[in-house]
Amino acid sequence: MNYLYRNNSANRIVWLMKTLCSEGLPASTARCYSTKLAPEPPHVPKVASTASNVPTERKSIIPPNYRYVYQEFLPDPKVEWRNSVREKLERKDMLDRRANIDIPEFYVGSVVAVTSSDPHAENKTARFVGVCILREKCGLRARFIVRNVIDHQGIEISYDLYDPTLQKIEVLRLEKRLDENLLYLRDALDEYSTFDVNMEPEILPEGAPVPINDVKVVLKPRPWYARWERHNLQGVANIDEHTNERKRRKAEAVATPWEKYDLMKEYRRTIPEEEQKEIFTEIYSQIHSLELARKKMKRKRTFVKPTKLA
């Protein structure tokens, strides 16, 4: 009985396999097991992955120096002061203002001449020449301070960058300094803040990098406008001469050298790069057209018509 039962079971298995294989189904679907070698699949040549097949990131058309030249377009990084609608409207007003007045590129340390409306002046305009010692705030509230020493008297004027009373801003010497602000010039010798009111502009070649003036000023004896020994200044030469051991210990006690490693604090102080690209992409077309017009006018001013023809 066992032999007959095994024989019938084997016949049924063979019949089932023949039935499945005879239907013409794929081997993977019919699951037809055989002792023969399975036919090799057609050879499909592998396509080598080349650099042309890999999608490359599109290169940004925004120049990397926009975040320094047009820093007032970046909003305040403090979250409680952010308002996307107000910022967008302010950027539109700033572009409209730039269409009416040429606001050139300048930094802290550049020598500028500012012409503004003055109802008390003889010609209803006033022109002031000096060095820019501070640039702060953003949007329509952006401002800068210009300092000069006239008749042995230090004079500082604060201007709103987008003030409608400003008629002209000229850059007489384009340069940078070692520090972010030059407020310590208030306590420095007068020679570092004295500039001729009839100073001629110094024109840099087109495309040349902005030079960095590494001059180190000499401070007067105390009292000072601020405790400069606590500000880690690079542009002051004799700050240790006026700092005793007691003041030096206090400066070390309040110093926070670990803040440069605090990534979250640095993130809160700045605008993310993605948001910067979005803002500058929004204003790029108008800013670029204004730059081209400025370069065209600059070429016209530098061209001198010959008096005699050959």
Structural domain contains residue 225 = yes
Q: Rounded to whole angstroms, how far apart are CA atoms 71 and 214?
A: 23
Which long-range contacts link 276-281 to residues 24+ away (Cβ below 8 Å)?
A: 276/67, 276/74, 277/60, 277/62, 279/73, 279/74, 279/75, 279/91, 280/62, 280/66, 280/67, 280/70, 280/73, 281/62
Decide which of 286 and 10 is more confident: 286
Phi and psi for 135 in degrees, rounded to 5?
-130, 125
Confidence of residue 42 (pLDDT cuts 50, 70, 90): low
Which residues, listed in sequence order, are joined to residue 169 by a DSSP beta bridge?
114
Distance set, CA 292 to CA 4, 166, 175, 297, 300 (Å): 100, 22, 22, 9, 13
- Per-residue model confidence as pLDDT tens digits over 140-153: 999 999 999 999 99
3 CB neighbour count, 10 Å cutoff: 7
Domain total of the chain: 1
The token pair at 89 is 């409207």
Structural domain contains residue 18 = no
Nearest to 135 by CA among 212, 187, 188, 74: 74
Question: pTM for the whole thing?
Answer: 0.77
Q: Among 25-34, 169-178, 201-210, 278-287, whose mean pLDDT is lowest? A: 25-34
Q: Rounded to whole angstroms, how far apart are CA atoms 69 and 106?
A: 7
Residue found under tokens 């036919």 = 39
Structural domain contains residue 40 = no
Which pLDDT belongs to residue 56? Answer: 56
The token pair at 131 is 């060095």
Is the distance from CB of 218 to CB of 174 less than 8 angstroms?
Answer: no
Q: Rounded to whole angstroms, how far apart are CA atoms 149 and 188?
A: 11
- Per-residue model confidence as pLDDT tens digits over 169-226: 999 999 999 999 999 999 999 999 999 999 999 989 888 999 999 999 999 999 999 9
Structural domain contains residue 21 = no
Nearest to 233 by CA among 218, 254, 223, 250: 218
Structural domain contains residue 5 = no
Residues of the chain with pLDDT > 90: what percent? 65
Q: Rounded to whole angstroms, how far apart are CA atoms 236 and 228?
A: 9
Which pLDDT belongs to residue 58? Answer: 62
Confidence of residue 39 (pLDDT cuts 50, 70, 90): low
Which pLDDT belongs to residue 297? Answer: 77
What CATH number is given to the structural domain containing 180? 2.30.30.790
Strand order in the sheet with 143-150: 153-160, 143-150, 125-136, 111-117, 166-173
Residues with Cβ within 8 Å of residue 113, at least 6 apart in sequence: 127, 128, 129, 168, 169, 170, 172, 199
Structural domain contains residue 61 = no
Which pLDDT belongs to residue 31? Answer: 47
The token pair at 128 is 């002031």
Structural domain contains residue 8 = no
**Which conformational region is residue 31 in: left (phi greater than 0), alpha (psi within -120 to 50 degrees), or beta?**
left
For residue 114, the enclosing domain spans 72-297
Nearest to 295 by CA among 210, 166, 203, 209: 203
Q: What integer is the mean pLDDT of 274-301?
A: 87
Structural domain contains residue 6 = no
Q: What integer is the mean pLDDT of 110-126?
A: 94
